[in-house]
Amino acid sequence: MTTSVERPGVEISIDHSVLHIELNRPRQKNALNVEAVGIIVDALERASTDDTLRAVRISGRGGNFCSGADWVASNSNRDERPRTGSLQRRTPLQAHRIIELLVGIQLPVMCVVQGWAAGLGCQIALASDFTVATDSSRFWEPFLSRGFSPDSGATWLVPRLIGVARAREFLMLGRELSGGEAASCGLIYRSVPDSEIEAEAGRLLQQLSSTATVAMGLTKRCIARSLQSGLTEAMENESFALELSSRSRDFKEGLLAFQESRAADFQGR
């Protein structure tokens, strides 16, 4: 069953238990305005409690993934300077909320990057569990070159993915990385020739959407928690996850498939 709702700047659809989020402002290189951010946040919040979903796919239309937050649109209707603290109050409920949901949702998230992934667009790609990019795509953190500091989790995500020294180069010197370079240094999951991106994304999405969804979500949660804890706490989290996942239907199917020497047919339950 396929359902699709196209709203300004982004198309939300569900197809075969996969939530598809497609950015759709190609003339602006899919820069995200406030309305589009709200739509994405709403879709991810709903997906967090939708037991019919197995995975999330995020992509952009028109040759680019996302060039970041649309500051021009966000400020074009302002006749005066925003009140002090405006960004501090709003950002946690907008751009930052997207990153929290991508990291926290107990579904595997795949991001497909072609062209530019800059600023907030780069953070969305890095917060996703598996980002597949074309070799020619470009990852860029343009914050300092525009006179302000990084946001949307950049200073948390990047050092954890590629280490502090490379993070300084990427965030503080604003070095652009191709898709191939991003994959080589561990910033993203994989890059492929431009002509192979859809086939590679399709293969990965099929794998993610047919896995044991409960166990996958709990494993994702444990990985995220382990980055903020010691070994003992990490193993305690693993114990709770093991208790929950071993009570799922997919666990029983996995055992039966092993006994019968066949591939498991997981249903995400």
* Beta strand pairing call for 138-140 and 177-178: antiparallel
| 213-259, CATH topology level | Lyase 2-enoyl-coa Hydratase; Chain  A, domain 2 (1.10.12)
Q: Can you give the pTM of this predicted structure?
A: 0.86
The fraction of the chain above a pLDDT of 90, given in percent, is 65
Could you read off the pLDDT of 91-143 as tens digits, one per residue? Answer: 544 688 999 999 999 999 999 999 999 999 999 999 999 999 999 999 999 88
What pLDDT, in 10s, does the model give residues 199-209? 999 999 999 99
Average pLDDT over residues 72-81: 54
- pLDDT band of residue 5 (cuts 50, 70, 90) is low
| Lowest model confidence (mean pLDDT) among 9-23, 213-227, 245-259 | 245-259
- CA–CA dist 170, 88 (Å, integer): 24
How many distinct helices (H) and strands (E) make up the chain? 12, 10
Domains 2-209 and 213-259 share a fold: no
Predicted local distance difference test score (pLDDT) of residue 2: 62
Ordered by start, the domain boundaries in the chain are 2-209, 213-259
One of 3.40.1010.10, 3.10.129.10, 3.90.226.10, 3.40.50.620 is the CATH number of 2-209, namely 3.90.226.10
Q: Count of alpha carbons within 13 Å of 146, Cβ hemisphere only? A: 14
Q: Which positions ≥6 away from 50 have C-beta within 8 Å? A: 19
Q: Report strand pairing: 18-24 vs 55-60.
A: parallel
Residue 51: predicted pLDDT: 95
pLDDT at 151 over 90: no
